[in-house]
């Protein structure tokens, strides 16, 4: 990659067990095979001290008020922003499993105000693309290990999906919705073609912020 070209920030979003981890891994492997500098990331990033508190909460060993855990998820993204910016400007593409939208969707699904939930995300680096894997809650429950973490309840995931749909219609310019119930290889082929076009398109564009 020639000097000055930046990498792309690509996010995978969707309800629990919608295939984000599989699809982000397949895209990572594809880009690596083409010698494109690429790195994986996950939010929450559980290794930091904030991330460890979040992990305790998600695995049901710690209880926190909804507002507190929401702000901790947001702080977990903020604490990694300088690193994200630096890697993108070095020309590395980042493939990220969950971002701000999960934070908003899960907290709003609990009944917190949508705008309040979105406020602490403003100013974070704006993704170049969000790949939204959409599947019915009933489809998801059939998947391996479903139900092990705090949020994996069918009715709740249905409410989460409604918030994702709301964000998708609002942010349609860079959101790409896919049917997550189709075979993984078909889904990967669709994602790959869009991702490669995005890498070309954004290489010379400045980074933007969520507003």
Check pLDDT > 60 for residue 127.
yes
Check pLDDT > 80 for residue 107.
yes
Looking at residue 17, what is its pLDDT?
A: 84
Looking at residue 95, what is its pLDDT?
A: 98
Looking at residue 113, what is its pLDDT?
A: 98
pLDDT above 70 coverage of the chain, percent: 91
Mean per-residue pLDDT, 95-113: 97
DSSP class per residue in the chain: --TTPPPPEEEEEESTTSSHHHHHHHHHHHHHHTT--EEEEESS-TTSHHHHHHHHHHTTS----HHHHHHHHHHHHHTTHHHHHHHHHTT-EEEEE--HHHHHHHHHHTT--HHHHHGGGTTSBPPSEEEEEE--HHHHHTSTTTT-STT--HHHHHHHHHHHHHHHHHTTTTEEEEETTS-HHHHHHHHHHHHHHHHHHHTTSPP-B--
Terminal Cα distance for the chain, rounded: 30
Average pLDDT, the chain: 92
Count of beta carbons in the 10 Å neighbourhood of residue 63: 10
Report how far residue 88's alpha carbon sits from residue 179's, in angstroms, rounded to the nearest whole number.
Answer: 29
User: Residue 92: phi, psi to the nearest 5?
Assistant: -90, 135
**Is pLDDT larger for residue 146 or for residue 192?**
192
Looking at residue 32, what is its pLDDT?
A: 98
Query: Nearest CA to 97 among 131, 73, 141?
Result: 131
Looking at residue 149, what is its pLDDT?
A: 63
Check pLDDT > 50 for residue 192.
yes
Band (pLDDT 50/70/90 cuts) for residue 189 is very high
Report how far residue 95's alpha carbon sits from residue 115's, in angstroms, rounded to the nearest whole number.
Answer: 26
Q: Which residue has the tokens 């499993």?
A: 97
The pLDDT tens digits for 33-55 are 999 999 999 999 999 999 999 99
Domains of the chain, earliest start first:
9-202 (3.40.50.300)
Check pLDDT > 50 for residue 1.
no
The pLDDT tens digits for 50-88 are 999 999 999 888 889 999 999 999 999 999 999 999 999
């Amino acid at each position: 990659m020639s000097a000055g070209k930046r990498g792309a920030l690509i996010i995978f979003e969707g309800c629990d067990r919608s295939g984000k981890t599989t699809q982000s891994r397949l895209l990572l492997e594809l880009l690596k095979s083409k010698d494109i500098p690429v790195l994986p990331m996950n939010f929450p990033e559980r290794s930091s001290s904030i991330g460890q508190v979040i992990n305790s909460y998600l695995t049901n060993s710690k209880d926190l008020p909804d507002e507190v855990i929401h702000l901790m998820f947001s702080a977990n993204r903020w604490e990694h922003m300088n690193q994200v910016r630096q890697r993108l400007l070095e020309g590395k593409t980042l493939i990220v499993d969950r971002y701000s939208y999960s934070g908003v969707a899960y907290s709003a699904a609990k009944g917190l105000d949508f705008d309040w939930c979105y406020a602490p995300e403003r100013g974070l680096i704006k993704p170049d693309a969000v790949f939204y894997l959409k599947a019915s809650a009933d489809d998801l429950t059939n998947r391996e290990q479903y139900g092990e973490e705090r949020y994996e309840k069918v009715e709740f995931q249905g409410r989460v999906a409604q918030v994702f749909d709301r964000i998708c219609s609002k942010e349609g310019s860079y959101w790409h919705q896919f049917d997550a119930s189709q075979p993984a290889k078909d889904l990967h082929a669709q994602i790959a073609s869009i991702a490669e076009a995005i890498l070309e398109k954004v290489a010379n564009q400045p980074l933007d912020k969520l507003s």
